[in-house]
Every structure is written in C-alpha cells, then in structure tokens.
Chain A
Amino acid sequence: MIDWYFSHIVLVQSTLTTLLLALSVQVPLRAGVFSFAGVGCYGIGGYIAAIGMVHYGLSTATAILLSAVVGGVVAYALGLLIQRLTGLYLAMATVAFTLIISVLVVNGGDLTGGAAGLFGALGMLDTGHLLAVAVVVVAALTFTEIGPLGRRVEAVREDPELASAMGINVARYRRATFAVSGVLGGLAGSMTVLLRSTVTPDDINFHLVVLALTIIIVGGSRSWLGALVGTVIFVWMPEVLAFVGEWEDVVYGVLVAAAAVYLPGGVTGAAVAGYRTYRRKRREAADAPPDGPPPQPVAAGVGGDS
C-alpha cells in the first residue's frame, strides 16, 4: 500500500487538483451557466502563486489564498461584464477569456517569465493539504446541492423564468457561480503549480477546457460526485490503458463518445436513475394489491385524494 502510494503520488495529487478544476466548470454548469471562466482562473491562480513565490517570497498558504481570492474577484467581474450572454455565446466568451490569459502571460515580461514561464515555485504542499482543501470544497458544494439552496439552483438551471417567478434572483445566482468557479479555478491552478514548481503559458490551453468538460460529461454534471468519478476516470485512464499502447487515444475517444450518447447524465447520473427505478419498482410492488387490476393511466387521478 505504502509502496503503491509513493509510486502513484503524482496521480493521486493530480486527481485532487483536477477535481477542483472540474468543479470550477461544473458549478456554473449546474446552475445553467455555460462558463469556462474557471479554467482561465486556473491559469491566473497558477501564475499568481508562481509570481508570489518567485518574486515576492510568499508563503505557500498565502500564495494559494491570494490565488483563490484573485480568481474569485476576476471571475465575478467577468460575470458582471458578460451577464447578458447565455448558452453558446457565453461559452465562447469565457473560452476567449481563458485564451486571453494565456496571451497575457506570454507578454508579461519578467513578471511572468514570458514564453519560458516561471521556475522554482515549489510550495510546501503534500497530499494531506490537497485532501483537506478538496474535502472542505466538497462539503461546501454539497450544501449547494441539497435542501432549499439545491432546489433553487436547480430551478435556476431548469427554468430561469419560473425561478424568477418564484422570487429567486436569477442574475445573482448566476453571478455567484462565476465567483465560486473563479475561487475553485484559482485553488486548482495555484496548487498544481506549487506541486510542480513551474508554470508556462502552455499550461493554460484549450485542452484544459476539453478536459474539464469531458470529465463532467462522463462523470456527471449534477453533483460533485460526478466530477470526482470523471476525474478519477480521466486522470487514471492513461495508467490503466497503458497496455493498449498507441491505441490509447482511440479508446479514450470512443469512451467519451459512448458516454455522451448513452449516459446523458454521466456515470453518476445513470447510477442515480437506476437507483430511482429500482426504488420505484419496489414501491409499486408494495402498493399494488396482490391480484388487483394493473393501474390504468387514463383513470389515474379520477376522484383524486382530496
């Protein structure tokens, strides 16, 4: 076990940071906001942490905290700026934001290290710290998935007009998801860089957007659990698929396509649906009189319960 852990430590750690990145995209998506601003904030967080460490000698904790705060503030400001956009246009604008970040850091001179990036930003981080951050984040997000808040977020996603007719300030919820995604992106980016000790403009690219999206599509978009399942699949797949060698990309592509087509709610969505069907079958079996007639859809509700 111990041996296994040390030989896989990089994968374990990148599972945790990738989870945060995936969550930074999933949170807005869960409220119906098609934003990839979290990925841009991943880049911002990575650079802030590296700059803070290399140029200003910040402590690891300060660097991470600063990255999260700046990520949240920048994303919130972006949210204000583009709050009229929805759907594909919003997605495009936030992808553009991410690409702009990567252009900015190339042209940042000594501050960002230009095209070569920054080196020597090794933070005092271990798996325990990452796990602690992930647990706190997941606990906080759970709160937004259950109870009254969970219902309201779902209403904002499923039917914004209905939500507003129920007294929900839809615009405020949308803006809040920007801030949260910025914080999560900032955390993910800063911790990734502080583990690796380097950051380059190439680290912030379109692939991150694709990665986050595929994680959520395959894992499930409705709950942090989906992000975790998807993250584990995609971080560990190269390891698991090592035996297929050069066919890895093909297998990868087929898996993503199959999930998109056959598992619209992702792996966790399918599991939840299966569990509900099972419960419903059991309930119906319990409700049905031993040899009564089958329920008749047309007659359903005649007379009612009232």
Chain B
Amino acid sequence: MASGTIEDVDGAADTAATESVLRADDVAVHFGGVKAVDGVSIELTPGRIFGVLGPNGSGKSTLLAALTRLVPLTRGSLEFEGRRYDTVRPHTIAARGVARTFQTVRILPGRTVFDNVALGAESAGSAGKAERGRARQRARTAIERTGLAGKERHRPDELSYGYQRRVEIARAIASEPTLLLLDEPTAGMNRQERDDITGLLGDLRGEGLTQLLIEHDVQMMVDACDHLFAMNFGELIADGEPEAVVRHPAVQEAYLGKQGRAHA
C-alpha cells in the first residue's frame, strides 16, 4: 500500500525496512447502524510519518481506537510487526510498543506532570530498581523534549490547554514505543506550539519512530507527513504522496471544499 520503495535507509537494514510495522486489512468498526470505519486497509512502514486526513466524523479516531484494540472490530484483521493482534486486549498491544495520545486530553487530574509522564515511562517496565531508574530517566527525557521542563511539579489544572496536550504527548513517547499514534496532538495550540510539536515529531522520525498522525490542518499535514491517508464516511478515499492526496478530487470534494475545522 505504501507507495514507493524506501532506498534511503541504511543498506544493512534492507529486509527490516521493507517489513511493515503495522498492517490493517479490511478493518471495519460499526456502532449499530453507524459505519464509523468501513473496510479500511493500511500499511505502516518503519521510520515514516503517516497522516490521516478527513472531515469531522469520518472515522479517524475510531480507526485509531481499532488499531489500539479499544473498540472491537466488526470485521478485518490487524498485524503488528508481523503478528496478528486483532483479538488481544488493549494492554497487550500497548506493552508490545504501540503508544497513543487521545483527541481529548486524558491525564490524571490529581497527579503532577512528572507523575503523568512517568505512568507512560513505566508502562513497559518491571518493578526492578534499575528499571525504575531507567523509567524515571525516560520520563525526564520526554518532559524535556516536549518543552515541559520546569513544570514537572505542576498539576494539570495549573497548565494551559496546550501544555496539557504536551503531557499527553510526553506520556506517549516516554514509553519509547515502536509505533506512535497521535490523535490531533496540536489541537488548541497556537502556531508556535504547533511548530514545536511537528519539529519534535520530525526528530522522532529521524530516530526511526513510525508515526500515525491525525490532524485537520492540511498544510501542516503535507509538511509533516511522508504519506497521507484520506478518509470520508469511514472509508479510505485516497492514499499516497501527501501532495497527490491533497489534490485528489475526492479529497478536495470531501474535505477541502468544506474547509472542515481547518481553522488557524
């Protein structure tokens, strides 16, 4: 599905590079009569940023919920690093290295920034002393990288919305995942903050982290992503090079014509 071959990856990693990190085949999620996701097939290859565009209600978040096993599949199959996982429980796939953020901020209200990020850092970990030390270090690194340094002791209600979103992102990257799924990570952020976050995602890609990013800002998606999926009414309507996907007539019609929520 991912068009084009990947030649700019170090030669030795040739076989690894052609393997997919995640493969979803004919995935459908129906809520009663609502076909939130209906027959979506995607493949994510290592070290790239994939984007999902689509108007409100087109099924983007539901697709992410399906990929993280938070909603049951009506149909289809899921594969992570070559292993089927469409029947495992969500914590299992999370522990295998799939981290995510949520469209709405979901952080523990009574806990500090550090505690919230540590929760992500510790998710994979055992209880050993050495591992606990490493987890703290991962949390500190994630806090630094998301621009939260100096706010470790703050509680969520002391943070602006943009900073709360950063906590979501920090918590996800603190687990040092293999695949990072981001549901509108920069919603409610100003231009500068968005640039900070997309810069961070670019850095993470540089380190080989595969990402699936949902955002409404088309220009930002074209700039940030290596590959775009466009959805409408639960189906994939286009898939490929960002510029080509954005120019695709079906996408123009479904998304750009309406302007959706493309504020800012």
Contacts and interface: CB of A to CB of B under 8 A. Distances in A.
B262 interface: no
| Chain A, interface residues (CB within 8 Å), range | 20 to 34
Nearest to A222: B110
Interface SS, A side: helix
Contact of B108 (A155, A168, A300): A155
Contact of A300 (B125, B160, B196): B160
Contacts of B145: 306
Given A159-B106, A305-B147, A305-B149, A151 B160 contact: no
Given A148-B135, A164-B89, A305 B122 contact: no
Given A165-B90, A167-B94, A301-B162, A148 B70 contact: no
Given A167-B91, A302-B192, A305-B147, A151 B118 contact: yes
Nearest to B125: A148
Given A280-B158, A303-B192, A304-B196, A164 B108 contact: no
B100 A165 contact: yes
Contact of B106 (A151, A162, A276): A162
B115 A166 contact: no
B193 interface: yes
Contact of A167 (B109, B124, B160, B162): B124
A79 B237 CA distance: 46
Contact of A148 (B122, B158, B192, B200): B122
B111 A148 contact: no
Nearest to B101: A165
A167 B175 contact: yes
Interface of B: 68, 70, 89-91, 94-95, 100, 102, 106, 108-111, 115, 118-120, 122-125, 127, 132, 135, 145-151, 153, 155, 158, 160, 162-163, 171, 175, 190, 192-193, 196, 200
A302 B190 contact: yes
A152 interface: yes
Nearest to A161: B70
Interface string A146-189: 01110110110011011111111111000000000000000000
A304 B192 contact: yes
Contacts of A168: 91, 123
B111 A154 contact: yes
B150 A148 contact: no
Given A301-B162, A306-B146, 8 more contacts: A148-B122, A154-B111, A161-B90, A165-B100, A166-B120, A167-B94, A297-B160, A304-B196
